[in-house]
């Protein structure tokens, strides 16, 4: 039995490859929406956010032989929990992570170490700032940016009730909320940037599958500066960015 921490489209495809190779598996996701995607693909799934202890219990209970962590590049807590659980039950931990973007030295792109660093840079820049970093860290930006002179914060996030309630609690105006589910094409990004007259865009280095290319290319085409938040630094051990090497690792470790 292989335990696959999933939740993204590439994680789903990886799980299908593992299943097609003849391995029994269980996927875990956080949201009902992600669970539905797994079930539609014919993958067994468990829904809910799991601590390291809960992951370890699940691994023991299901006779898990390896944990494959295919979570989002910024799902730092989930990855640390997976590493701890694998160590606790003495099974191999295998990390799959989508490739990095090749934008390190592009003019118009400013790299930030983390969310707070990005918020500080944005506070110096001001203007119309579009956040495409999700709702989880929204408060970091609203606390630093809302109320600054000559500054408007526009937030793009999933159209969920809890997200809208969070925006209201944090004081983000309805007219500055874009509640839509991606991925977004370059054309749609261009239209949104123009509509809001954006002067600065903030995103995460989520990789090509995360549609970051489209965000950046469209912003740079319009002369909009971009702040890109680098991925968290985690001691994963060996990291694979292709399915074949993950499958090879599973075969060699079992």
* pLDDT single digits (tens) 30-89: 888 889 988 999 999 999 999 999 999 999 999 999 999 999 888 899 999 999 999 999
- pLDDT at residue 52 in the model: 96
- pLDDT at residue 210 in the model: 58
Question: Taking residues 223-233, what's their average pLDDT?
Answer: 93
- pLDDT at residue 99 in the model: 79
**What's the chain's length in residues?**
254
Give 187's Cβ-side CA count (13 Å radius): 0
Share of the chain above pLDDT 70, in %: 97
Residues 82 and 3: their CA atoms lie apart, in Å, by: 10
Quickly state the pLDDT bin for 102 (edges 50, 70, 90): low
Torsion region of 39: left, alpha or beta (phi above 0 gives left; psi -120 to 50 gives alpha) = alpha
Give 153's Cβ-side CA count (13 Å radius): 25
Lowest mean pLDDT among 2-6, 29-33, 47-51, 142-146: 29-33
- pLDDT at residue 155 in the model: 97
- pLDDT at residue 104 in the model: 63
Quickly state the pLDDT bin for 212 (edges 50, 70, 90): confident
Do 2-99+233-253 and 109-229 have matching folds? yes
DSSP 198-238: -SEEEEE---GGGTHHHHHHHHHHTT-EEEEEPPP----SS
Quickly state the pLDDT bin for 118 (edges 50, 70, 90): very high
Quickly state the pLDDT bin for 213 (edges 50, 70, 90): confident
* CATH 3.40.50.2000 fits domain 2-99+233-253: yes
Question: Taking residues 143-162, what's their average pLDDT?
Answer: 95
- pLDDT at residue 222 in the model: 97
Contact 122, 144 (CB under 8 A): yes
pLDDT in tens, 188-202: 999 999 999 999 999
Quickly state the pLDDT bin for 91 (edges 50, 70, 90): very high
- Please state which CATH number belongs to domain 109-229: 3.40.50.720
Task: Parse the chain into domains and list their residue ranges.
Answer: 2-99+233-253, 109-229
- pLDDT at residue 209 in the model: 63
């Amino acid at each position: 039995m292989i335990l696959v921490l999933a939740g993204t489209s590439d994680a789903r495809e990886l799980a299908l490859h593992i299943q097609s190779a003849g391995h029994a598996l269980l996927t875990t996701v956080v949201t009902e929406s992600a669970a539905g995607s797994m079930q539609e693909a014919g993958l067994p799934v468990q829904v809910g956010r799991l601590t390291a202890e809960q992951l370890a219990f699940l691994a023991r209970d299901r006779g898990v032989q390896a944990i494959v962590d295919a979570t989002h590049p910024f799902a730092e807590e989930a990855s640390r929990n997976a590493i701890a659980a694998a160590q606790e039950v003495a099974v191999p931990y295998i990390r799959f992570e989508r490739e990095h973007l090749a934008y390190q030295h592009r003019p118009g792109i400013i790299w930030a170490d983390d969310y707070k660093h990005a918020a500080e840079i944005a506070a110096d820049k001001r203007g119309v700032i579009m956040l495409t970093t999700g709702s989880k860290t929204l408060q970091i930006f609203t606390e630093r940016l809302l109320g600054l002179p000559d500054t408007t914060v526009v937030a793009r996030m999933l159209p969920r009730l809890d997200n809208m309630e969070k925006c209201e609690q944090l004081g983000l105006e309805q007219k500055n909320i874009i509640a839509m589910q991606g991925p977004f094409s370059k054309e749609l990004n261009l239209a949104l940037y123009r509509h809001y007259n954006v002067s600065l865009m903030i995103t995460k280095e989520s990789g090509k599958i995360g549609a970051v290319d489209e965000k950046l290319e469209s912003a740079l085409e319009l002369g909009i500066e971009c702040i890109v938040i680098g991925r968290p630094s985690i001691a994963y051990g060996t990291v694979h960015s292709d399915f074949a090497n993950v499958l090879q690792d599973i075969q060699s470790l079992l």
